[in-house]
Amino acid sequence: MIDYDLKKIRALAFDVDGVLSTNNVYLFSNDGQPIRTANIKDGYALQLAVKRELQVAIITGGRSPLVRQRYERLGLQNIFDGVSVKIDCFYQWCESANLRPEEVLYMGDDIPDYEVMKACGCPVCPYDAAVEIKEISCYISSCCGGEGCVRDVVEQVLRAKGFWMNGLNDKVAFGW
C-alpha cells in the first residue's frame, strides 16, 4: 500500500515510456515514430479518475500523436509532450490547476522524472524503475511499466477517496 495520505491527493501525473507503456519501443522505418504499448486496465483506471474529477496529467519527453490521441480519448486534458525539463512543466501545471505539489501523486521510472518526484507529495514508481527512482519513491508497484502499475496506484487513490466500485451503474466509456 502507498505510504501517504491518499485522501490529500487531488491530482495524478505520469510519464509515458516505462510507466504508461513498457520500457521497450518498436522501431519501424516508415515514419520514424516508435510504436508503444498501452495497458487497457491502466486506461480504465485513468478515465475513471478523470470522471471522478481528479486532475490527471501526462508529462513526457516523447512526442507521439498516437499517445496524445489515446489519452485524450480517455478524457485527459493535460498532456504535456516533448518536455525536456519536466520540473518546470510540473510547477507550471500545478500553478495553472491551482494545485499544491503535496496534492500530486507522480509516477516516473527514470532519471528525467527524478526532480518532479522529489517535488511532488507522493512519488511512486513501477517495479522495473531505475534504482535512483526506487530510492525516492514512497511506493514501488508490484507491476512493471505498461503492465498495470498505473492501475495499481490509481485504484489505491480512488479506493482511499471512496470512489472505487462506488456507483457501479455509472456509464464509463473506454475510448479504446
81 labeled part of a ligand binding site:
no
Task: Find the mean pLDDT for residues 122-134.
Answer: 98
Task: Find the mean pLDDT for residues 121-149.
Answer: 98
145 torsion bin: left (phi>0), alpha (psi -120 to 50), beta (else): beta
From the list 68, 91, 70, the residue with the least C-alpha distance to 80 is: 68
Using pLDDT thresholds of 50, 70 and 90, give the confidence band for residue 34. confident
At residue 22, the 3 state secondary structure works out as coil
CATH classification code of 6-173? 3.40.50.1000
Ranges 49-53, 144-148, 162-166: which has the least confidence = 162-166
pLDDT value at position 169?
Answer: 43
The residue length of the chain stands at: 176
Tell me the angle at which helices 40-51 and 149-160 cross, rounded to the nearest 10 degrees: 30
Amino acid present at 76: L
15 labeled part of a ligand binding site:
yes
Using pLDDT thresholds of 50, 70 and 90, give the confidence band for residue 171. low
Task: Find the mean pLDDT for residues 39-61.
Answer: 96
Using pLDDT thresholds of 50, 70 and 90, give the confidence band for residue 170. low
Taking CA atoms, 29 is separated from 26, 34, 169, in Å, by 10, 9, 45
Q: What is the rounded CA–CA span in Å between residue 6 and residue 82?
A: 29
Q: Inform me whether the pLDDT recorded for 25 exceeds 70.
A: yes
Q: What is the rounded CA–CA span in Å between residue 148 and residue 152?
A: 6
| Pairing of β 11-14 and β 122-125 | unpaired
Sequence-separated (6 or more) residues with CB below 8 Å from residue 109? 15, 17, 18, 19, 23, 125, 126, 128, 129, 130, 133, 145
pLDDT value at position 29?
Answer: 58
Q: Inform me whether the pLDDT recorded for 174 exceeds 50.
A: no
Using pLDDT thresholds of 50, 70 and 90, give the confidence band for residue 86. very high
What would the grid cell of residue 100 be? 499544491
Provide the mean pLDDT of the chain: 92
What would the grid cell of residue 154 be? 490509481
Task: Find the mean pLDDT for residues 83-110.
Answer: 98
pLDDT value at position 30?
Answer: 67
Number of Cβ atoms within 10 Å of the Cβ of 39: 20
152 labeled part of a ligand binding site:
no
Q: Inform me whether the pLDDT recorded for 115 exceeds 50.
A: yes
> Where do we find the cell 507529495?
121
Domain ranges of the chain: 6-173
Q: What is the rounded CA–CA span in Å between residue 51 and residue 28?
A: 35
Percent of the chain's residues with pLDDT above 90: 82
